[in-house]
Amino acid sequence: MFFDNQRLNGDIEKVEENLRNSVTSKNKLLVKAIADTVGAGGKRLRPAMVIVSSYFGKIRQENLIQLASAIELLHTATLIHDDVLDNSPYRRNNETVYKKYGTDMAIYCGDFLYTKALLMLADIVPANKLTIAARAVKTICEGEVDQYRDKYVMNLSVPSYLKRISRKTAVLFSASCALGALCAKCNPRITNSLSKLGFYYGVMFQLIDDFRDYKSGDSEWGKPVYNDLSKGILTLPAIYACRDSKEIHKRVQNYWNKKVNTNEELNSIISLICSSGGMEYTENYIKRYRQKALREIDKLPQSEARDILGDLINKLHI
């Protein structure tokens, strides 16, 4: 079990059980395809954020489990669709729906899960708060379209990059915290801090993911490495390196223009980026967002929940 706190672990276990039971349909193929993905695990960080945020208020246990499960299903839906776009055969060391059943099934499984998740949310979240979840999905789509638009674009600015990962990743973490707090009837000051904390945590999470994408041979997260650059996506280490070194800039450009696109060239560019100072530059940003998140913690009332959050923030590292 990933988390140190017993109460949190207990609740996450209930979420796991609920996830196993919540995807039902008379269509057996759909259920199987989805169960493979939902069951494949992952750290359940978003449900954890929902749950810990709710600890600052009061909520019926079954509603909390339902809320946290819905957020994880929403997240799973985005993953299933992402895998189509990235042509990803594996995620978390399992075959993706895309690889196993094809594009058709992956699109519909994602749509089905989006809807299932919004249905579950509509059951427990007050209608005027439901927009937080829907707006999060809307923003994730915008972030993914940003990424599509930015493909093979050199000279991407750091603010553009930060905006993209905010939309793509941080907004759902933020919504997780906000919904957990709101449904537990926390006061607006606490809800606001938790929402910000979730946002900074999400940026940090994506920065670390992008950092690890450059760390060779590190397959702990179950993803193929060195993937972003080969897909035409510039993340922070490469943005720094291309800005800092004319040579790296030129070689990325040539690689993308397919003038030189062997695996050797890719590996060589990645080595250059890794030793360019891009990794330290990214680490610096990770530190900065960790501090932002920790500063929000200071605004929360002292409690076990606050300690868990501090622990979650500090445990997230490269």
Contacts of 179 by beta carbon, 8 Å cutoff, 6+ apart:
50, 53, 67, 71, 121, 125, 129, 132, 133
Q: How far is the CB of 84 from its own copies (least distance, A)?
A: 6
Q: Which lies closer to its own copies via its Cβ, residue 101 or residue 201?
A: 101
Query: How distant, in Å, are the alpha carbons of 103, 131, 213, 227, 252 from that of 88?
Result: 11, 31, 14, 10, 22
Encoded one letter per residue, x for contact with its own copies by CB under 8 A and - for no contact, window 12-51 reads -------------xxx-xx---------------------
Using CB under 8 A as the criterion, what x/- string covers residues 61-80 for binding its own copies? -----------------x--
Among the listed ranges 43-51, 117-125, 244-252, 284-292, the one in contact with its own copies (CB under 8 A) is 117-125
Nearer to its own copies, 26 or 246 (CB): 26
233-272 residues near its own copies, rule: CB under 8 A: none
Cα angle: 81, vertex 85, 87; to 5 degrees? 105
**Residues of span 119-178 touching its own copies by CB under 8 A:** 119, 122-123, 126-127, 130-131, 134-135, 137-138, 141-142, 144-146, 148-149
Q: Are 159 and 137 in contact (CB under 8 A)?
A: no
**Minimal CA–CA distance to 224: which of 86, 39, 72?**
86
Nearest CB to its own copies, comparing residues 137 and 269: 137
Which residues between 77 and 106 bind its own copies (CB under 8 A)?
A: 78, 81, 84-85, 103-105
- Per rule CB under 8 A, count of chain residues that contact its own copies: 40
Binding residue (CB under 8 A) for its own copies from 118, 171, 241, 270: 118
| Smallest distance from its own copies to CB 69, Å | 16
Cβ proximity to its own copies, 30 vs 270, nearer residue: 30
Which CB atom, from 5 or from 147, has the smaller least distance to its own copies?
Answer: 147
Rg of the chain taking only CA atoms, in angstroms: 20
Through-space distance between the first and last CA atoms of the chain, rounded to whole angstroms: 19
Burial class (CB in 10 A: 0-12, 13-18, 19+), 221: middle
Would you say 306 and 231 are in contact if contact means Cβ atoms under 8 Å apart?
Answer: no
Q: Which residues bind its own copies (CB under 8 A)?
A: 25-27, 29-30, 78, 81, 84-85, 103-105, 107-112, 114-116, 118-119, 122-123, 126-127, 130-131, 134-135, 137-138, 141-142, 144-146, 148-149
